[in-house]
Amino acid sequence: MDFGEGLDRWDLDSSARDLVEEAAARVRHDYSAAAEGRSAVLSSASAEPRGPAMLAQAIFADDYRGATVAFGGEIRAEDVAGQAGLRLEILRKGWRIEADRRVERTVNVMGSQDWSRREITVTVPEETDVIRFGITLAGRGRFWLRNPELRRERPQDAGPAGVG
């Protein structure tokens, strides 16, 4: 996954639980997303953006159920007034999920920060339908992601192949 071909299959929307059409329109007005070289950038587009925004990709969880997955990448922040970060969501029973049917993990940053590698790890329950991952921004600022990766982690007790 990289952004050399743009933001194909990445969506800009709200990370709020109860996304309604009015909130979706506000996110599109208050935030923007673009590919810059091999990075994606999520930026505030208004002086006082309301609510959070998320630039995310969603995939079916079929190949990850029961496994531990890690979502990571290199991130950079510039003048983030609220919070920005990586986000990984494990969703069950559809796209709009009640709190008792979702698992969320976030790594947040504030202010300005040069490129650094960050990662989130979670075990995917068997009843998971969708895995959603990306970056979030709440408030003014700009937040970059490059070299994103979603991968299965090796089980803790698995040693190198052929060693015994």
Tell me, what CATH number does 38's domain have? 2.60.120.260
Instruction: Please indicate, yes or no, if residue 18 is contained in any of the structural domains.
Output: yes
- Give the domain extent around 124: 11-152
Instruction: Please indicate, yes or no, if residue 161 is contained in any of the structural domains.
Output: no
Measuring CA to CA, which residue among 17, 9, 7 is closest to residue 104? 17
**pTM for the predicted model, two decimal places:** 0.82
Instruction: Please indicate, yes or no, if residue 26 is contained in any of the structural domains.
Output: yes
Rounded CA separation 60/57 (Å): 10
Instruction: Please indicate, yes or no, if residue 70 is contained in any of the structural domains.
Output: yes
pLDDT digits (tens, 9 = 90+) for 43-101: 999 888 888 899 999 999 999 999 999 999 999 999 999 999 999 988 886 554 444 44
Instruction: Please indicate, yes or no, if residue 1 is contained in any of the structural domains.
Output: no
> How many domains does the chain fold into?
1
Q: Do residues 135 and 143 make contact, with C-beta atoms less than 8 angstroms apart?
A: yes
Instruction: Please indicate, yes or no, if residue 122 is contained in any of the structural domains.
Output: yes
Give DSSP secondary structure letters for 66-85.
TSEEEEEEEEEEEEEEEEEE
Instruction: Please indicate, yes or no, if residue 158 is contained in any of the structural domains.
Output: no
For residue 12, the model assigns a pLDDT of: 87
Instruction: Please indicate, yes or no, if residue 2 is contained in any of the structural domains.
Output: no
